[in-house]
A and B are shown apart, each in its own frame.
Chain A
Amino acid sequence: MKLETNQLLRFTTAGSVDDGKSTLIGRLLYDSKSIFEDQLAAVETTSKRKGHEGVDLALFTDGLKDEREQGITIDVAYRYFTTPKRKFIIADTPGHIQYTRNMVTGASTANAALILIDARHGVIEQTKRHAFIASLLQIPHVIVCINKMDLVDFSEKVYDEIVSQFESFASKLYVKDIQFLPISALLGDNVVNRSENTPWYKGAPLLYTLETLHISSDLNKIDARFPVQTVLRPQSEEFLDYRGYAGRVASGIFRPGDEVAVLPSGFTSTIKTIDTLEGELEEAYAPMSVSITLEDDIDISRGDMIVKKNNQPEPVQEFDAMLCWLNDAPARPRAKYTILHTSNEQRAMIKEVIYKIDINTYAREEEDKSLEMNAIARVKIRTTRPLMMDEYRDNRVTGSFVLIDDATHETVAAGMIM
Chain B
Amino acid sequence: MGKYYLNYLDELESEAIFILREVWAQFENPVILFSGGKDSILVTHLAKKAFYPSKIPFPLMHVDTGHNFPETIKFRDDLVQSLGVKLLVGSVQESIDQGRVAEERGKNATRNALQITTLLDAIEENKVDCAIGGGRRDEEKARAKERFFSHRDDFGQWDPKNQRPELWNLLNGKHFEGEHFRAFPISNWTEMDVWNYILRENIQIPSLYFAHEREVVWRQDSWIPVSEFLKLEEGEKVETKKIRFRTLGDITITGGIESDADTLEKIAAEVSAMKQTERGNRSDDKRSETAMEDRKRQGYF
Partner of B175, one of A36, A400, A409: A409
Is the C-beta of B11 less than 8 angstroms from some C-beta in chain A? yes
Please report which residues of chain A, range 2-42, place their CB below 8 angstroms from some CB of chain B when the two chains form the complex.
3-8, 36-39, 42
Is the C-beta of B112 less than 8 angstroms from some C-beta in chain A? no
* B293 pairs with A105, CB closer than 8 A: no
Please report which residues of chain B, range 126-183, place their CB below 8 angstroms from some CB of chain A when the two chains form the complex.
137-138, 141-142, 144-145, 160-161, 163-170, 172, 174-176
Is the C-beta of A275 less than 8 angstroms from some C-beta in chain B? yes
* A277 pairs with B52, CB closer than 8 A: yes
* B25 pairs with A397, CB closer than 8 A: no
A242–B53 alpha-carbon span in the complex (Å): 8
* B138 pairs with A80, CB closer than 8 A: yes
Sort chain A's interface into a size bin.
Answer: 35 or more
* B144 pairs with A63, CB closer than 8 A: yes
Minimal beta-carbon separation of B127 from chain A (angstroms)? 18
Is the C-beta of B301 less than 8 angstroms from some C-beta in chain A? no
Write out, one digit per residue, whether chain B residues 40-76 have a CB within 8 A of any chain A CB (1) or not (0). Answer: 0000000011111111000000000000000000000
Residues of B near A209 (CB, < 8 A) are none
* A78 pairs with B188, CB closer than 8 A: yes
* B160 pairs with A78, CB closer than 8 A: no
Is the C-beta of B276 less than 8 angstroms from some C-beta in chain A? yes
* A79 pairs with B168, CB closer than 8 A: no
How many contacts between A and B, using CB within 8 angstroms? 177
Partner of A230, one of B13, B24, B277: B24
Which candidate, A82-90, A173-181, A304-312, A361-369, is the interface stretch facing chain B?
A82-90
Residues of A near B168 (CB, < 8 A) are 108-109, 396-397, 400, 402
Please report which residues of chain B, range 179-203, place their CB below 8 angstroms from some CB of chain A when the two chains form the complex.
187-188, 190, 192-193, 196, 200
Partner of A402, one of B21, B167, B187, B280: B167
A411–B147 alpha-carbon span in the complex (Å): 13
A239–B54 alpha-carbon span in the complex (Å): 9
Q: A232-B54, A400-B168 are in contact. Are A64 and B49 (CB under 8 A)?
A: no
Q: A82-B190, A108-B168 are in contact. Are A234 and B54 (CB under 8 A)?
A: yes
Partner of A229, one of B21, B144, B200: B21
Partner of B25, one of A66, A75, A230: A230
Identify the closest chain A residue to B221 (Cβ): A38
Partner of B8, one of A7, A232, A401: A7
Partner of A404, one of B3, B160, B172, B196: B172
A-B contact pairs, 27 of them (CB 8 A): A5-B7, A8-B8, A36-B277, A64-B141, A64-B290, A75-B161, A78-B144, A78-B187, A78-B188, A87-B190, A102-B165, A219-B4, A219-B5, A230-B25, A232-B51, A232-B53, A246-B21, A246-B50, A246-B51, A285-B4, A287-B6, A287-B11, A289-B18, A400-B167, A402-B168, A411-B172, A414-B165
Q: Which 7 A-B pairs have the closest CB atoms?
A: A289-B17, A8-B8, A409-B174, A216-B5, A234-B54, A108-B167, A87-B8
Q: Knowing that A63-B144, A109-B168 touch, tell me 14 more A-B residue pairs with CB under 8 angstroms.
A: A8-B6, A8-B8, A39-B277, A74-B161, A80-B137, A86-B8, A219-B4, A230-B24, A230-B25, A246-B50, A289-B14, A289-B18, A343-B25, A410-B172
